[in-house]
Amino acid sequence: MKVADRPLEGKVALVTGAACRIGRSVSLRLGRLGARVAVHYKTSAAEAFETAELCGGKSFQADLEDFSAIGQLFEEVESSLGPLDLFVNNAGRYREVDILKVTEEDWDFIHNVNLKAAFFCCQEAAKRMRDRGGRIVILSSLGATRPWTQHAPYCASKAGVAMLTRVLAKGLAPKITVNSVAPGVIHFENDMSPHVEHLVAVTPMRRPGCGEDIAEAVCGFFTGSSFITGQILAVDGGLSQRA
């Protein structure tokens, strides 16, 4: 295979929440592009092992709600695969709940992973990249800019991720680039609820996205220009452009 076909040959990449769905798609594409992939998971051990096997990487377990586990995860990845070059903050949570019924547990369930862990994972990645350089991509969401009334904690967390992307990009330059990918409706098996079906129906491209759509966008930030940083790329079939 030509070097041009594997532009990430020898690079070490860590993807959080990588056992299945978007994280799995990103891991598989990174592997095809030549990266040595660390597949993070919390509880989905079998799925993570399978993903790691398919992308030629290795799986690593960590509960990202445990602050001390974050540093340990990065240490284990570098001890096993080498210095970190690329980081994808994909781990996230989603829960539907009426605004007047949101509890403290609901709020913490979402924000502990979507925003708190996202920041401290990016911080840990940056500490390890600051001398050699590196690239970070954070998964955001269409919910960062759309007020979904049944998803207040989620939307708030993803809006925070959008600003976090910009702050980190400015603060970590010039050695490290930080960008975000904001998916629209991404279809996986058994998740076509009436709400999702409605969003697909009003998507200008008239279809849901797939994991590979997101993986291609994420990896584009890794293989493309290092002059691109602080950007939030909507991969949503034009849904965010609707009035």
Query: Is-contact 212 29, C-beta < 8 A?
Result: yes
Residue at 80 is within a domain: yes
At 79, is the secondary structure helix, strand, or coil?
helix
Predicted confidence pLDDT, tens digits, the chain (243 residues) = 556 789 999 999 999 999 999 999 999 999 999 999 999 999 999 999 999 999 999 999 999 999 999 999 999 999 999 999 999 999 999 999 999 999 999 999 999 999 999 999 999 999 999 999 999 999 999 989 989 899 999 999 999 999 999 999 999 999 999 999 999 999 887 666 787 888 899 999 999 999 999 999 999 999 999 999 999 999 999 999 885
Name the domain count of the chain: 1
- C-alpha atoms less than 13 angstroms from C-alpha of 211 in its C-beta half-sphere: 16
Query: Is-contact 188 209, C-beta < 8 A?
Result: no
Residue at 104 is within a domain: yes
Enclosing domain of residue 57: 3-236
Q: Which two tokens stand for residue 60?
A: 């690593």
- Distance between CA 167 and CA 99 in Å, rounded? 29
Is the CA virtual torsion 31, 37, 40, 43 positive or negative? Answer: positive
For 24, 84, 113, 132, the CA distances from 18, given in Å and listed in that order, are: 5, 16, 14, 25
Q: Please give the torsion angle defined by the CA atoms of residues 24, 110, 240 and 170, in that order, rounded to the nearest 10 degrees.
A: -80
> At residue 19, what is the residue type?
A
Residue at 153 is within a domain: yes
Residue at 111 is within a domain: yes
* Residue in 60, 74, 87, 154 annotated catalytic: 154
> What is the Rg, in whole angstroms, of the alpha carbon atoms belonging to the chain?
17
Give me the CATH number covering residue 93.
3.40.50.720
Active site residue 41: no
Q: What is the pTM of this model?
A: 0.95
Residue at 45 is within a domain: yes
At 93, is the secondary structure helix, strand, or coil?
coil
Helix, strand, coil share (%) of the chain residues, nearest 5:
50, 15, 35
Residue at 243 is within a domain: no
Q: 56 exposed, middle or buried (CB, 10 Å; 0-12, 13-18, 19+)? A: middle
